[in-house]
Amino acid sequence: MPSAVVTGSSRGLGRAIALRFARDGYDIAINYHTSEAAAREVADAARDHGVETTVVGADVSDPDEAADLVDRAVDTFGGVDHLVNNAGIDQHVYTENLSPEDFDRVTDVNVNSAFACTKAALSHLREAAERAGDDNAGPSITNISSILAYTGAAVECHYAASKGALLSLTKSHARDFAPEIRVNVVAPGHIETDMTSDRTEAEKEAELAEIPRGRYGQPEDIADAVAYLRDAGFVTGETLNVNGGELMR
């Protein structure tokens, strides 16, 4: 059975992505940083689809812990076929109040973790490419960016900058790892998760007025996009914007 590693998969987007992979018949390595109980709930839900899981606590911005996550997946499943770099943190701080330590921490989690996990998984994904042979899709890496990579953000410049960096990292890795491994990125718009639950009603009204679809996205909308990129054999180095039309030009 094919397998996938989804970082930051105990909640929010990562949870929805992990469960979509499970529904589609993939064994799943579920990663958490702070909430083991939430991660184990995701594992229980995933196993309802008849797949195998492993739950791994790791700060994936640490290269050693990222490597341990991948190693645990390989030990459990015999390999890794897909990697989703979803782990991320946000913080609302004006630039003049933003400490270098906070800037570095957001960058570490949002960008360095994607690099660390990709590097740890690379040899295993190449082995998956050999196993796939003439399979149209083969192994893939999907990074999770944000609409803020394009628009910037007034009180979270470090978050927006980190998500912009993922766009360039994706294109670079797509070139580096071709033709064996496809690398793409999903850039969500406003999605309803616990990371966005602190919006005031006025903020929500203003945001919804900018979204032609007239609603917030759901984590499952992002999971659908990741599943598409996982299976789209002639798509690499691309950004799939999932924002309800907010960035139409």
Q: Catalytic residues, which ones?
A: 159
DSSP assignment letter at 65? H
109 DSSP assignment: I
Angle (CA) 92 94 96, round 5°: 145
CA-to-CA distance for 61 and 88, rounded, in angstroms? 10
The contacts of residue 46 (CB under 8 Å, 6+ apart) are 18, 19, 21, 22, 28, 30, 53
Q: Is the dihedral of CA 29, 103, 184, 204 positive or negative?
A: positive
The side-by-side arrangement of strands in the sheet containing 239-242 is: 53-57, 27-32, 3-6, 82-85, 140-144, 182-188, 239-242
Residue with structure tokens 């690379």? 122
- Retrieve residue 63's tokens: 């290269």
Structure tokens given for 77? 């499943």
Q: Are 155 and 96 in contact (CB under 8 A)?
A: no
Neighbours of 104 (CB within 10 A): 13
Which tokens in the block code for residue 133?
């042979």
